[in-house]
C-alpha cells in the first residue's frame, strides 16, 4: 500500500490539530494553573492513568506530525526521489521505536510512595 503525499499532508494537518489541543491543555494545566503548582504535584499527576493516556496521545501526535513533516521535506528534494520508499520505511521504524520507548517510559512511571 502506497501512501500518497496528499494523504501524508492530511495526516499532518490532523496531527497539528491534535497538537494544538494537547499543547493548550499542557500549558493551562502545568504552566498556568489557578494555584501554585510544584514538582511534587506534577509527580502525583503523572502517576494517574488519565494523564498517562493524555501523555501517550500527545507523544503519538508529536511523532506523527514530526516524522510526516520530515518525510515530506526530504522527499521534496529532487535528489532524494529514488530513496523515497527507503525514507518511508525509516520514518515508520523511527516512529515505532520512539513510540514504544516513550510509551514504555510513561506507563512504567510510578510516583514514589
Residue 41 covered by a domain: yes
pTM for the model stands at 0.85
Alpha helix ranges (H) inside 1-113: 5-26, 39-46, 49-76, 84-108
Q: 34: Cβ–Cβ under 8 A, 6 or more apart, which residues?
A: none
Residue 65 covered by a domain: yes
Residue 113 covered by a domain: no
The tens place of each residue's pLDDT in the chain, 113 residues long, gives: 677 888 989 999 999 999 999 999 888 888 887 777 888 888 888 889 999 999 999 999 999 999 999 988 888 877 877 788 888 899 999 999 999 999 999 999 888 87
CATH of residue 10's domain is: 1.20.1300.10
* Residue ranges making up the domain that contains 69: 5-108
Residue 27 covered by a domain: yes
Split into its structural domains, the chain has a count of 1
Burial (0-12, 13-18, 19+ Cβ within 10 Å), 80: middle
Average model confidence (pLDDT) for the chain?
88
Residue 79 covered by a domain: yes
Amino acid at each position: 500500500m502506497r501512501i500518497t503525499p496528499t494523504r501524508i499532508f492530511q495526516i499532518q494537518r490532523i496531527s497539528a490539530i491534535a497538537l494544538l489541543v494537547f499543547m493548550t491543555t499542557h500549558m493551562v494545566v502545568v504552566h498556568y494553573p489557578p494555584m501554585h503548582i510544584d514538582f511534587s504535584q506534577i509527580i502525583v499527576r503523572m502517576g494517574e492513568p488519565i494523564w498517562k493516556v493524555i501523555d501517550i496521545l500527545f507523544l503519538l501526535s508529536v511523532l506523527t506530525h514530526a516524522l510526516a513533516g520530515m518525510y515530506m521535506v526530504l522527499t521534496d528534494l529532487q535528489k532524494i526521489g529514488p530513496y523515497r520508499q527507503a525514507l518511508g520505511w525509516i520514518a515508520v521504524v523511527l516512529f515505532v521505536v520512539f513510540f514504544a520507548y516513550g510509551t514504555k517510559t510513561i506507563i512504567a512511571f510510578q510516583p514514589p510512595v
